[in-house]
Structure 1
């Protein structure tokens, strides 16, 4: 077979949306309008307006020979490339047994995205996949061959937003990926077709770096949407709903089409956002109507209107506190979610964790998510946010103005970015460490600027550490970092690394090296603080900013190390525990530094909470308790000075919670209950003041649950049940408003488990059984939605265990599936070491049961 697809008479598959099911079986309540969120394979049944383009693109793909090649999907900003690829081409290719591997978010270089895409389709363990990628095309081909769905068929690898591969950030990884893809398309089994979805502005770079594009590449440019195409996009999805389910006024359709044709930029993003907004405003049993379209500002003003609603702007105008809200919104958006590229000054979206965004700005970011301008990421390790689409930079005037007023990266940032990129691209060779003297000092002062700090990625930070270490080695006469602080730690690190190398273990020392380097860097900052204090208040403020930046960086490293400690064993655990202890000591010294500014004192309090949590992980309960107590004292003083500061009150609530954790670990149940009650009092007050703030209601549910834990530890079963019941009710309400939130769904299952445990202690077997059944039902539902989620599969083991103990006749039926889950995860290399004892325990319990009865012969 020479062509990618069959082309004989009658062989051409249908490409129209009506040939796909809707709603999808995996998401029966899915909205037919997705706003600015790109469509994916689930939305193939409502992907209208591109039938002709799909036919043309598939015809062009047929011209790619079976021996492999390159296909370029070209489209400008707002053309809908991602939806065309994921909801258009991908499901139609999948229907022919050619489902592509789609690499999303390739801005990290793309290697991780390739590994994730393969892992989603392969039974191979993740380390094996990454090793094959790192080894090159010859090592990767056997793994890719297992993914080809038909003998002799090519494997399609699609890179969405391929322009991200050509940013200076992670450039070395991008080059490796492009080199790997070039080798794959040059021949071998299976044949590989690489599909790049890319903007015209990056096409020249692709042609330069992807060698195979010079010969044999096929290019398809997405055409502009006609009025008929736009009409299909508006009206088509309504055809898939039950008869009478949703209507749209003809006048509204005409008005939207007129506005789209008059738009200065591609109208597709605005059209998608406006339709989603209209759907949100629609009253039950009513149509999408022209009057609502006017309310949302029509096509050109719909994003601005959504932003105004977040700021409280209504028909009566701006609220009295508009400027305060605007300031908080700017602090939450810039630089954490939006900023300008240090190289070309272009606006860029960024992913920010919930912890990075200022607490006082977080409620407004949550409101942006409710309005569809920001999306909450559930696939990240911790709660995170991201602007929903690049189109917000084009169409949301307020954001454009905020970015225009924001400080631009200066020459120091540009030089640092260029140097760190060059260093990373050349295998981090020592001779590429070029910052020294005043140039290094200018670069290090970026740590004192929050706007600049957000632009520094891990490569930049590692480069600065390398520069500082080199500078210290070469300036022995007047070291910037006091030797009493740094050199003993450096000697300890060298000894520990030698010991670890001799054991031949696999501990990732990079994190520890960075942590200890940060300790030296912080020591230098302390010295600078003393100099700044003598120089005046302005310099003192800059110095406090530097200490704050050091604390924030240390918090992140300490959190990562403590998390790794939770799954470490043996000698690795001992080494990791030492690393956590050293960095916690360093962070605690930073928190003890005299602070004038309220912001630094707040950061010190937050840092002490991180220290307390890390010390609990190492088993040092007394020092964890001391750190938590200091955190509470700091936040009490701040909230007393400004009782109206909602963010500080939330911080105080978290400090009380951390103190309760430390007290409970130290078996001080009375103290823990008192701390958790203080935490809950604040959480309830905040949640009552802002009932639409889901985060604060979530905080309240955690406080209720932790109070129940302490009450259960003290033997107050009925009080514990009441607290657990309140937490469950709060989470059920949250989940009802956002049914797809897996974090809340998992937490609700945990509430049922805690209720079951308390009822079991009360010898209420029937009630405990019902509670554990409720938890198991949730985990099973989550597993059906995402069968590859190992965490959910493991969580489902616990209620099975408890139910087996409560209902012995069903024990075999409950533990049998548990054994299957554990054996499957172990075979796939996804069962953590600390969970392997579960496997032995389940086998032992099954063996202890009576053998299954057999019919009498």
Structure 2
């Protein structure tokens, strides 16, 4: 915020800025605290004190006081209003004289640039913060800022229309004269250094080029040699901005290898240190694991050089919609039936869309195109477009079907030119294609029409006309394109992989050892060329031809070689008979010992795991360790280190299952040292990568168990890196796909715990896609089928967090059916029985939430029976014991709600007794105390229902005390939040029943405050339940009426909840 009286730029919190904007948009009008909460807190109830806090911060920033208000006045018992004159930004000094009455203030699928500064709204706080971040990096001597954010969050627009114009206004005495952009997504096969050189050639001062007389290639070579020594022909205090957009192309392009990536980042680092340049790079935050592996990109993180751009809030989206319309003299219509304002409907739709900003801008651009003569953006036009989600797809389909059949038929060929699927992450992306690739009039007509309709873009890149989609949202929102991509995904993935292999093959002099091996890789490549649906370049075609030729030559030579090999074998046998007897005997014993050890920690251990024979596993690992024991890691042979690491992993798995986390970590840390010693010795093959990844996975799981979520994320990202290495080493290996799917599932589980359901769902879906791909190669792999079922359960949990109750139930039922088949096929495999029991437990809980209590109890009883059966085989398994007790408590909860108090008490006492015994053995587990907290809660609820308030309060206090003791560790855990909220709400009911109404309301407000920090609290029915109850309890039922309606709509009918809401 820039203060008008002295021009000082002051940083304030985004929420306070939202409050200021809301007041200024209604100058002189009194807005109550409730009004400001609705406008600036997305309608969420967080308490009036949040409004007062924001007003206090604004007054401090403005130098204002309540007693002598010059800017914001407090109207007693009514609210706040502005008393200073409010002048819209569009009439202020930044945009004076700009007229938008003749053109659209919206950009469609294009990003905003500097020419759109006057209509770029909703990011004021982000611009101020980014300017401060940039100037801080300049002052530190390394002017490089990395802007991170989700796809479609507006990173490019923020830099081009926000940061760059702000820097031109010389904040902090900066003198910025020009800016240039390098979009890495459009570089293609050009050398990265040449691309940077080309971007810098666009810079000039007063019409004079900074690098007059130099070519892009020559400037690129100079940058490679000494980037920090670059000397533009400009005053020493003049600065220039280089904006590198879509930095993620460094990591997902098959055209960029590690050496090129390192050289490019060295150039950026050198420019940032040169003194004349400010380097801003934008990268999608889902590539942060790749960023974290680059020291030059992480160098500025500790000094604040990473800027995280969050998706816009609802008030910010409202500004993006309304303020440009004000600048251009536009107005919004309304729904003639409901009278709902179109701008409000757009705000609601954009807030719930994953492609919010690009689709919103496209919809607004289309509404502008269809505006009325009175410059109204009409509701009828919005309906005809199909809303935000349907607008772009419906528009694209209408444009396509308006063309002749021959032009429509050319769409698949056009898509094959501009759609790619990542060779490693399998993500769908777009790239530009030259117009020269279009061979027919129909193809040119289709592309020209799509460009004219602004669905495609066309421009000159590297002196050649190119075209592509205006925004990748089109690939996700046009059903016809989505279907085409789904049916050609494998071929697109194969092409991307082959492009990377071909580039390396050619750059290394077409070495024969880099040709495609026989088998699936070569067969897929041959098929791609024969089908010809997905075009490939000449380099790929040459690679496949050469690989095919070598394979055929090998076939012809093989027959002749057989006789020679037979003769050699006979000679070898004869010579072997004459070998030294002692040496043969020693070799035989060594091989027998190694075979025995390999069998123990390998095949035998794999056979024992499904049976749950943990004692035998413990014995296996101890015997293997006795054989391999060697304290000097450096002197241990690489093969022995690998085998010892495998044994340590098995020991760690056993220790963790028994609650001995310290022993498990000790074994894992030793295994990590052994494997890293192999890596240091140059042995980082597939086997080492797989085992090192397994070590990181188990370290991460133990960190999750102990609530150290940041440490868990670091370990699981390291696990994912190792699985990506496995895929890079052998891209056609289904084992590598499966391991990568495990890594993504593990990260998804962690993000689920941290409350990031949408990101978790995306990871689970990626994991499912990899497993399905592997099942295509191994259709009879029962273990893989079970893991796929498990992935569906995790996706279900994410759907639950997103409020999709029926989808959640269906996915868990699907998992249950798959596990039933597996158990039938392998009745002695305890692992399937355990997973089936857990699936029945979850399904039972979901059925109870839908009011289907009889079905719920039946499912939970089946779960308990299954757990009881496998505990007969392995009675010391504490995890199974704990789950049986928690399942019993879940059944008891339903029995309490249906009035079966005595049966409920029997379940509660049995479960509590078991949990107390487990806690005496494992004092570090947090799951056991949580179970005991549920036990105390249910006993308090029974006492409350029976009118015994004293017992109810004692038991509720015990439950609350336990949950509070672990709350800080699990602040983002939805289940812990829900359990604590239910306990506090029960205490509030006890207080109210005892005549302490004020204390009861205070407790409900505290519950509201606690739940306010939980994301998705109005969508995730597990959190929405106590959220609704807390607000009703606090006397503000109106604020959650829409949540009550939502819960009814999704079929949420928990007995206790329904009784509370309907009382």
Which bin holds the TM-score, normalised by the shorter protein? 0.3 to 0.5
* TM-score (normalizing by structure 1): 0.47
Larger RCO (CA within 8 A; separation ≥ 6): 1
Q: Higher Cα Rg: structure 1 or 2?
A: 2
TM-score by length of 2: 0.38
